[in-house]
Structure 1
Amino acid sequence: MRVSKLTLCAIGLISASELAQKATAQDVVIPTESPIVETKSLSPRTTPEIIKSAAPTVEAIRPMPKFPRPSIAQVTLPAPVTPVRAQSIAQTPSRPVPVRPPQPQTPADLVLTATDVQIVGASPELQALVRDRIQTQPGGNVSTPQLQRDIATILETGLFSTATFTTRTNPNGLSVTFQVQPTTVRSLNLVNAQALTPAIANQFFQSQFGAPVSPTAINASIRQINDWYRQNGFNLARVIGVIPNREGVLTVEVAEGTIGNIQIRFTDEQGRLTTDKGEPIRGRTREDFLRNQIQLKPGQIFQEAAAREDLQRILQTGLFTNGRISLEGDARRTTVVYNLTEARSRAFNVSGGINSDLGVFGTLNYSDNNFNGVGQQLGGNISVGTRDVQFDGRFVSPYRATEPDKLGYSFSGFRRRGISRVFDNDASELLNGDRVREGRFGGTVAVNRPIADGWDGTLGLNYTRISLRDGDGTIARRDRNGAPLSFSGTGIDDLTTVNFTAVRDQRNNPADPSSGSILTLTTEQSIPIGSGSILSNRLQANYSQYIPVNFFNLERTQQQPEVLALNIQAGTTIGDLPPYNAYTLGGPNSVRG
């Protein structure tokens, strides 16, 4: 059968159109699923980044791309057409190259709305902490750089070993999930700690080792350490902060009140540091001497008990009536200031008069309890009259606990005469009716130092020549009843003794006590040499108690307290007892024994 050329051309066109439609349908790709976002875990050495798939990570819903289909009207046939079979027509055309639609790129700083923010892998306490730190919040804007900054912020807390995030698009924006891994506490690192040792600190954090980090537990341990500081006298010490890291090490930084400097300031009786002219008040006491009394040193940890001991040691020198401690600076570097009020330590008097022993006389008196500014005592008086010359001088260098290898020492010399306190009644008058004058001339040398806890000991050598005279200075051997006045019977005795004294002084201030007590025990052994050859041992005890009172309902102050003083004495002599060494009790009527 013959087929016309027009029929064959129509068949060829229809077959080509169908093949083109099939090829086009096979090559068009339409996205139907949401894009997939991959994430990487972050470490401090890598910059947070987001790895995206080929498809856009976040994009608005787009209409399905449309492609034009070829039509017969668009096909132009060549003029000469060669007849071919239908079977070969379908196999002859080459396969058209598929064409993909252009893929739009999402900008890195694209900002969307965070519809939901979740934190997983942590306790509610840590979740709340993360929410307070990160910028991404529900209802707020979110972008890739912001999420990267949030991850860095989470890791900077040191509370988490790892932190990642994932996102998921939804019709209203972006859902964000932060995946965190809390740090496990493994050890402590103490910073600036001297008093607080690692062993003590570990006791307060023991329950946290091997467990996830907990800010609440850390705060409880901080309170326990601060309580330990207070209970042990470190009043300025405290924990400044605890810094965790991703390796599980808690760095505990403390400020223990390290002493940076020690200052000494002098005040007046009203506690002022300057005079009316604005000039600082200057003291006589040498600063190097005072610093020797202070055991606290720069670089040590401030302890209130140690500072009070230093202040008490300064007051016990007897050079100050009042003292207080003030602190300047902060807990990292503290300046300890000793504010001291000096007592009146120096006096000079000139006087004169007339009496039966000296006649017309003049007297010079000088005393200084802070000689050379180091607490040494120098004093003396001299009386020059028409009938006699008398004097009394002494020098004392006290023992200082801050110089344990140095003994305290003293020496004195005297020449004095006056009416005897023993021979002061009518029965002891002389034959000429005069009262007995007792004259003493001699000197003493002594050394002292502590002998036990709270006890000071003094060992001395004394020499005294005792003479009994009448009003004209003539030696008197017996009273009017014939009783000898001296042990030798000549009216002159030589008394050489070695004495030992133990003192327990618990007064708050030796110069002006308002509380405390002092106990003195003395034994004095005479050596039988010189006139009289006296051999005896004299024992004495003296106790004084100072009790603060408020009998007159006056405001009590440290400057002017009311004090009740009680005193009791006892003594005896074993061996020879010269008449002039008899014990005297009471007022004008003495008791001899």
Structure 2
Amino acid sequence: MASITLPGAIRISPYPSNATSSSRRPLIHLPKSNPTTHPKANPTTHPKANHIQSSLSSNNTPNPPPNSSHQSKSTPNSNPLHSLISHPIPKTLIICSPVGLLLFFLSPIGGGGGGNNFFNGGGGGGGDGSWWSRFISPLAFAKDEESEGWDSHGLPANIVVQLNKLSGFKKYKVSDILFFDQRRRSTVGTEDSFFEMVSLRPGGVYTKAQLQKELETLATCGMFERVDLEGKTNPDGSVKVTISFLESTWQSAEKFRCINVGLMPQTKPVEMDPDMTDKEKLDFFQSQEKDYRRRIDRSRPCLLPAPVYREVMKMLGDQGKVTARSLQKIRDTVQKWYHDEGYACAQVVNFGNLNTKEVVCEVVEGDITQLLIQFQDKLGNVIEGNTQFPVVWRELPKQLRVGHVFNIEAGKQALRNINSLGLFSNIEVNPRPDEKSEGGIVVEIKLKELDQKSAEVSTEWSIVPGRQGHPTLASIQPGGTVSFEHRNINGLNRSFLGSVTTSNFFNPQDDLSFKFEYVHPYIDGVYSPKNRTFKTSCFNSRKLSPVFTGGPGLDEVPPIWVDRSGVKANITENLTRQSKLTYGLVCEEITTRDESSHIAIAGQRVLPNGGISADGPPTTLSDTGIDRVAFLQANITRDNTKFVNGAIVGDRNVFQVDQGLGIGSKNPVFNRHQLTITRFLQLKDVEEGAGKPPPPVLVLHGHYGGCVGDLPSYDAFTLGGPYSVRGYNMGELGAARSILEVAAELRIPIKNTHAYVFAEHGNDLGSSKDVKGNPTEVYRRMGQGSSYGAGVKLGLVRAEYAVDHNSGTGSIFFRFGERF
């Protein structure tokens, strides 16, 4: 059935038309923006369908499944001259992550079946007219028949030959293609968008029938009032083709309207009987115009903001008459906004009302009509997963639900949210066309679950500061950790994990620490909008106390080890995406020991004769070497940081308070509080993307800690160390009831990493004397100090030179992790 266009409208024709230009209004096919090919291109090139791929992978290698390449193959037919112009938008994002995640989708810019709608690029008459064909069809050129050979024209050189004079039995090789604008009386350059209308390519081999079909397609697309095709013979037997045209124009427009027609049914074009009387034709056109107005009234408004409307109106005002080229510019402007905002599937498909004062722009925005969650095994087969669907569903952003327009940023957010569950080794978010709803999108989320149970063993040798601060082995005997995890219990993301650590595998009973933890998310129910997680653990740990550390002029101080064992239960509640609150109860027993693992009730020091005196500050509140205490603990964190090309920018605030309940040794009552504020200031705007350089960043950091009430020495705040004031050993500046730390660091990007300079200061605010036994004075520490230096990040290691301002000497340090 032939299709007919409304008076002054440009319609989508979802069916191939057999009508001639005399039997129907012409359809207009705007070419695609940013063409990837032009007449000088290689005719044998067949690029794949376009897609944008965003991959988060632990090995930095995207690993899409076998079906991730959405490419429809061209098949030979009677009309190989499809003009399905497709435009690659290469944009790959690779981010380090514990699991491999894949988000890919199809480019919104592509051609449909030839001659089917306004934006197919004007190619021949095949195709089903589906709007999604613009996404998944490869670039269709003329059938490559060079391998079959071609025929010489057999005519004298340099003569003009009309199309109807060519032989129907020969295969002509087209050496070049020229586009001649009859109104401007000049040949247009290859950058002109009209070049995209032609599916012929230099070097291609075509028959007379194919060339006639190409001319018919151009003549009926509506872009031209008149179009002709002629050839000029070359001495080598090939033909140079010239296409002369007169561009279509319409009256000037005073209004612009944009509508979303994505889920509206496409009406079949109606063929007009050429034998109609003038009155019947007028009635027919009026009826079609009423139908189109009803269609506009039933449509939804598009997402286009007011500034873009104003920009389009300015373009219409400056242009005067509406032309095919001006419609191309409007289309490019509208689609650019959609794609810049992440609406990757949006496509301008039609313009209407061109014979009125209002131009109507029809957009298929990419409405989500269905959301599917699938579990896969390691081979990609669909299986019944262990995870319950609501666990995944609650992590999806609202913009990825049915009824919303698909947005790439919502897809990325879904990846991040699902990845944060820690349940899956691979995550894919795949949009595809909805076969049951024209213009709709089905979003498929494919998940590969991690093994529910896992265990591992690691070995290590402990390093502690020796004499003059040089690192020494705590023991030549190897230690290590045995850990296990049972995750996703009952499919509700509950988990039980544990670890056992010893510094001596040969005699583990001498030094055994452990931690067993149970995590229970969604304590208000998996369907509750609240996101509260209950966590309980029992633990036994041993750490070297930095409180009992000597100053710069003191010989080595015998170390004091602090053992902590107990239970902890807390609830974590996400207040916002950036903020979380944790509150709970801690009950623990603290034991202080010397380097021989005997209970130590006081700190030790080395006497001038080499002996050791145990008359230092008391190590516990009870003066027995063993304390028991119960207290409430709360922590609120607001982390508004993000990565810009690998550099962290934003701000982070942490506030923690511990409140003693008067339960335990000597009924301790205290309030210990800490506030940490860190700012990562981006000093220069940079273009974001894979391989782009990070910006320079200025880090400003402040930390305050204080305690009111009972304070055992092992809980005193210490100054000095890689995460306090660099350039000093742990606790080398002092141990105090209250401290203040300030720091500044300037990070300068260099190739594949960054260098930095820093300055830091720590101060005990005169509160060292308020710690029981005053360990700061006993061990001859300053109570305050500053440092400055420079460093470079080498992978996970910080290599830095820091100057101890108190002594004026500098040292080189190698540290793991970040300072802030």
Q: Taking structure 1 as the reference length, what is the TM-score of the superposition? A: 0.51
Contact 1:222–1:239 (8 Å) recurs in 2:
no
Matched residues in 2 for 1:497 and 1:196: separation? Answer: 57
Following superposition, the deviation at residue 469 of structure 1 comes to 3.0
Which of these residues, 413, 417, 420, is aligned with residue 313 of structure 1?
417
Matched residues in 2 for 1:534 and 1:149: separation? Answer: 100
- Over the aligned positions, Cα root-mean-square deviation in angstroms equals 6.1
Following superposition, the deviation at residue 579 of structure 1 comes to 0.3
Which of these residues, 284, 300, 303, is aligned with residue 407 of structure 2?
303
Following superposition, the deviation at residue 306 of structure 1 comes to 3.5
Matched residues in 1 for 2:277 and 2:615: separation? Answer: 112
Which of these residues, 688, 703, 706, is aligned with residue 573 of structure 1?
706
Equivalence for 2:455: 348
2:515 maps to 1:381: no
Matched residues in 2 for 1:255 and 1:225: separation? Answer: 12
Equivalence for 1:494: 628
Equivalence for 2:564: 440
2:435 maps to 1:328: no
Unaligned runs of 5+ in 2: 1-221, 227-271, 314-321, 463-473, 503-507, 604-613, 684-688, 722-728, 737-820
- Counterpart of 2:668 in 1: which secondary structure? coil
- Counterpart of 1:488 in 2: which secondary structure? coil
Contact 2:378–2:448 (8 Å) recurs in 1:
no
How do residues 124-523 of structure 1 correspond to structure 2 at under 5 angstroms?
Answer: 149-151=274-276, 160-161=285-286, 187-190=293-296, 193-194=299-300, 196=302, 223=331, 234-238=343-347, 240-241=349-350, 255-263=364-372, 288-294=390-396, 295=398, 296-317=400-421, 325-329=429-433, 332-337=439-444, 348-350=455-457, 363-367=481-485, 376=494, 378-383=496-501, 385-387=508-510, 389-397=512-520, 403-425=528-550, 435-451=559-575, 454-470=578-594, 474-479=598-603, 480-508=614-642, 515-516=648-649, 518-523=652-657
Amino acid at match of 1:382: V
Name the CA shift for 1:435/1:250 in 2 (closer, same or farther; >3 Å): closer
Deviations 1:415-469 (A, max 9, x none): 2335434335599x9xxx9743322111111112233573211112111211223
Contact 2:547–2:731 (8 Å) recurs in 1:
no
Contact 1:397–1:408 (8 Å) recurs in 2:
yes
Segment of structure 1 superposing worse, 291-300 or 361-370: 361-370
Amino acid at match of 1:571: Y
Deviations 1:15-41 (A, max 9, x none): xxxxxxxxxxxxxxxxxxxxxxxxxxx
How do residues 33-182 of structure 1 correspond to structure 2 at under 5 angstroms?
Answer: 149-151=274-276, 160-161=285-286
Matched residues in 2 for 1:228 and 1:434: separation? Answer: 68
Amino acid at match of 2:442: T
Amino acid at match of 1:256: E
Contact 1:477–1:490 (8 Å) recurs in 2:
yes
Unaligned runs of 5+ in 1: 1-127, 133-146, 163-181, 206-213, 268-272, 550-554
Matched residues in 1 for 2:539 and 2:579: separation? Answer: 29
Following superposition, the deviation at residue 324 of structure 1 comes to 7.1
Matched residues in 1 for 2:573 and 2:282: separation? Answer: 61
Matched residues in 1 for 2:484 and 2:424: separation? Answer: 20
Matched residues in 2 for 1:472 and 1:227: separation? Answer: 71
Deviations 1:272-323 (A, max 9, x none): x986xx8789998766533331132234332344334333433444667997
Matched residues in 1 for 2:568 and 2:670: separation? Answer: 18
Contact 2:587–2:631 (8 Å) recurs in 1:
yes
Contact 1:241–1:252 (8 Å) recurs in 2:
yes
Equivalence for 1:120: none
Deviations 1:22-73 (A, max 9, x none): xxxxxxxxxxxxxxxxxxxxxxxxxxxxxxxxxxxxxxxxxxxxxxxxxxxx
Name the CA shift for 1:538/1:226 in 2 (closer, same or farther; >3 Å): same
Following superposition, the deviation at residue 242 of structure 1 comes to 6.4
Matched residues in 1 for 2:616 and 2:341: separation? Answer: 72
Deviations 1:371-425 (A, max 9, x none): 6665555432125723354321123345799842342221111123354343355
Name the CA shift for 1:441/1:239 in 2 (closer, same or farther; >3 Å): same
Contact 1:346–1:367 (8 Å) recurs in 2:
yes
Equivalence for 2:13: none
Amino acid at match of 2:441: T
Matched residues in 2 for 1:473 and 1:319: separation? Answer: 41
2:661 maps to 1:527: yes
Amino acid at match of 2:674: Q
Higher alpha-carbon Rg? 1
Name the CA shift for 1:363/1:186 in 2 (closer, same or farther; >3 Å): closer
Matched residues in 2 for 1:130 and 1:332: separation? Answer: 28
Contact 2:457–2:483 (8 Å) recurs in 1:
yes
Name the CA shift for 1:483/1:536 in 2 (closer, same or farther; >3 Å): same
Count of aligned pairs between the two proteins = 406
Matched residues in 2 for 1:218 and 1:152: separation? Answer: 35
Following superposition, the deviation at residue 541 of structure 1 comes to 3.2
Equivalence for 1:142: none
Contact 2:531–2:574 (8 Å) recurs in 1:
no
Following superposition, the deviation at residue 498 of structure 1 comes to 1.5
- Counterpart of 2:671 in 1: which secondary structure? strand
Matched residues in 2 for 1:369 and 1:547: separation? Answer: 38
Amino acid at match of 1:464: E
Contact 2:546–2:731 (8 Å) recurs in 1:
no
Name the CA shift for 1:291/1:513 in 2 (closer, same or farther; >3 Å): farther
Amino acid at match of 1:446: N
Name the CA shift for 1:281/1:543 in 2 (closer, same or farther; >3 Å): farther
Name the CA shift for 1:556/1:220 in 2 (closer, same or farther; >3 Å): closer
Equivalence for 2:184: none
Name the CA shift for 1:274/1:498 in 2 (closer, same or farther; >3 Å): closer
Name the CA shift for 1:502/1:284 in 2 (closer, same or farther; >3 Å): same
Matched residues in 1 for 2:421 and 2:649: separation? Answer: 16
Matched residues in 2 for 1:231 and 1:435: separation? Answer: 60
Q: Taking structure 2 as the reference length, what is the TM-score of the superposition? A: 0.39
Following superposition, the deviation at residue 228 of structure 1 comes to 7.6
Contact 2:374–2:447 (8 Å) recurs in 1:
yes
Following superposition, the deviation at residue 573 of structure 1 comes to 2.1
Amino acid at match of 1:574: C
Deviations 1:193-245 (A, max 9, x none): 44549x99x9999xxxxxxxx9989969985976786687644344544678x
Matched residues in 2 for 1:556 and 1:411: separation? Answer: 41
